[in-house]
Structure 1
Amino acid sequence: MKLLHLTDIHLTTPGQTIAGRDSNANFEAAVAHALEHHPDAELMAITGDLSDWGDREDYERLRVLIERIPVPVALCIGNHDDRPTFLEVFPEYAGEGGFVQTVHETSAGRCLFLDTWGPETHEGHYCAARQAWLEGQLAASEGPVFLFMHHNPVPTHVAPLDEIRLKDDAAFRQIVARHRDKVRHIFFGHCHLPVTGSAGGVPVTSLRGTNHAGFANFPETALLTGSDLPPAYGVAFVADDYVTVHMVEFGHDGKLWAENAPDYASWNRATMVR
């Protein structure tokens, strides 16, 4: 089974840019690239920061765009979003307690989409009510289960990022640890970075967003760091006994070379320079 993972699409007012990039055009380019190369995907997950400012018009345009995608799409909201406005445009996402938490079934297992949004903050929150929902979903499921969320559930050790991480991360990891025999993988966004690791004994992965990229600038302790690295999306291959996740840099516009190309023999074996 194949899953597509897009994150941090940051739709904004047409004609405006973010970090000098057109986030609307880049989202559409990411979708087009993913569908061209992976038309057999069962699900496209978009894990938050759907809108850059939480504007209703962004959600309305997103709804129109999603309706044209031939693959089922499931959404999370992130810190740049606005939950009440999102639910005005996507009322079917209103879950228990008014949170944007949904369940999607695939041939590889159940996918749970979590709501880590908090009002007027970039920090992630997963309160007792949301924790109870997740605990109940995992207890009732035979597995396997895949979790999708916006905020990072583990520290990155990049200080500015960890200031706005999931603040209930320890409680979240405890829930995951209790059900680690069922939870196969956790996908998240928010960091605009490729990140791998584990939470509660379960593998986690993140990736760059479809527009602007971050950078793991460990010496910087106060300000978030951006870069000109290519935007990307993820593709996950899921089987009974493994999960493989790739970050696809669809925004790369440089040359690609192949090891078995006709001119490969002319490369210098010591320096890999002609």
Structure 2
Amino acid sequence: MNILHVSDIHYRQQYSTQTKGYQGMLGQMRNPLIPLTDCIKRAQENRAIDLLIISGDLTEDGSSQDYAYLKQSIQQLIGDVPILVTLGNHDIKEHFRQGWCEESSDASPYNTITDAGSFYIVSFDNSCHGFSDGVIDEAQFSWLEKSLTSCQDKPILFVTHHHLVDDQASTAAWPGAKRLFELLTSVSVCAILCGHTHHAYTGTIKGIPYFTVASMSFVGEDEGDGIVRFEERYGYNLYKIESGKLIYQASENFRPNHVLMRVDMRG
């Protein structure tokens, strides 16, 4: 199976009209559907894509209409390829369920288990809208523990939003990472996929391949004293899994060297 992994699209049909701060920065960036279109086309030229995974922050605090439009746009680009998502701290669960899932409004975590033949894909929601570092939820850990136990007959591809390694970014890892790894090392995990930092990262944790994909929107570089330099930057990852084993991984990352804005994030 060939998997295309993208994250942090931060899409909205209409961004704020503010000219300063974080919201002003968003108004300076290109429509994220432009780099997303480019990346999907480039990935399809590389390999026949069997599955698209989006690891959170599909929208920038979007409405149900934003989710519906984003899904329709992606489906037009990728055809009948299945799409698997997890949610991030900028996703509003009620709006996601209405616009993307075409369900009634529901604020509960969005977790899924997908049987992909020779392996399972477990998508774990560690996000809460407005909490940038994610949340620890005992009910979520209970769900995960039971789910991993039920999936012991095949390897697992684990997907979540928040990054799990402290030294990979200037922001701290998800606070539940240590406990999460205790659960994941009790089963066979072929890889861990996440987003959130907007910076591409490749590593191995406790023998498990670990990948953070670049964003589809912007990246923030800490310049000190609360100043963050926001730049246009985007990218995607490709994986090939055969017989439950990761046998290929590639990243393509783009740096247009376009500074969007320097923002004092202390206020």
TM-score normalised to structure 2 length: 0.79
Q: Could you report, residue by residue, the CA deviation over 1:118-149 in whole angstroms, capped at 9, with x for unpaired residues?
A: 14211112411111111111111112110111
Determine the structure 1 residue equivalent to 2:7.
7
Counterpart for residue 231 of structure 1: 234
What is the deviation of 1:116? 1.4
Change (3 A) 1:93 1:124: farther
**1:15 to 1:117, Cα distance in 2 relative to 1, 3 A:** closer
Per the alignment, in what secondary structure is the counterpart of residue 120 of structure 1? Answer: coil
Unaligned 5+ runs, structure 2: 17-24, 258-267
Structure 1 residues 224 and 244: CA distance shift in structure 2, 3 A: farther
The answer to whether residue 60 in structure 2 is matched with residue 57 in structure 1 is: no
Aligned sequence identity (%)? 21
State whether residues 169 and 197 of structure 2, in contact with CA within 8 Å, keep that contact through their aligned partners in structure 1: no
Tell me the SS of whatever aligns to 1:29: helix
Match of 2:19 in 1: none
Is the CA contact (8 Å cut-off) linking 1:208 and 1:214 kept in structure 2?
no
Counterpart Cα distance in 2 of 1:35 and 1:93: 30
Give SS of 1:28's match.
helix
RMSD of aligned residue pairs (Cα, Å): 2.9
Determine the structure 1 residue equivalent to 2:22.
Answer: none
Match of 2:167 among 145, 153, 156: 156
Shift of 1:63: 2.3
Partner of 1:173: 181
Alignment match of 2:213 (pick from 182, 207, 216): 207
Higher percent of residues as strand: 2
Give unmatched runs, 5+ long, in structure 1: 255-274
- TM-score normalised according to structure 1 size: 0.77
Q: How many angstroms apart in 2 are the aligned matches of 1:199 and 1:22?
A: 35
CA contact (8 A) 1:153 1:199 kept: no
Whole-angstrom CA distance in 2 between matches of 1:187 and 1:87: 22
What is the deviation of 1:92? 6.8
Total equivalences in the alignment: 243
Give yes or no for the alignment of 1:189 onto 2:192: no
Q: Supply the distance in 2 between the matched residues of 1:253 and 1:224 (Cα, whole angstroms).
A: 18
How do 1:34-113 residues align onto structure 2 when only pairs under 5 Å count? 34-38=43-47, 40-68=48-76, 69-70=78-79, 71-91=81-101, 98-113=108-123
| Amino acid in the other structure paired with 1:154 | V
1:254-273 superposed matches below 5 A: none
Check whether the contact 1:59–1:86 (CA below 8 A) recurs between aligned residues: yes
Q: Distance in 2 between matches of 1:116 and 1:34?
A: 28
3-state SS of 2:166 partner: coil
Name the amino acid aligned to 1:129: A
| In 1, Cα distance between equivalents of 2:121 and 2:215 | 21
Provide Cα deviations, 1:39-94, integer angstroms capped at 9, x if missing partner. x2221000111001232222011221243332111111111111111112234789
Partner of 1:248: 252
Moved more, 184-193 or 52-61: 52-61
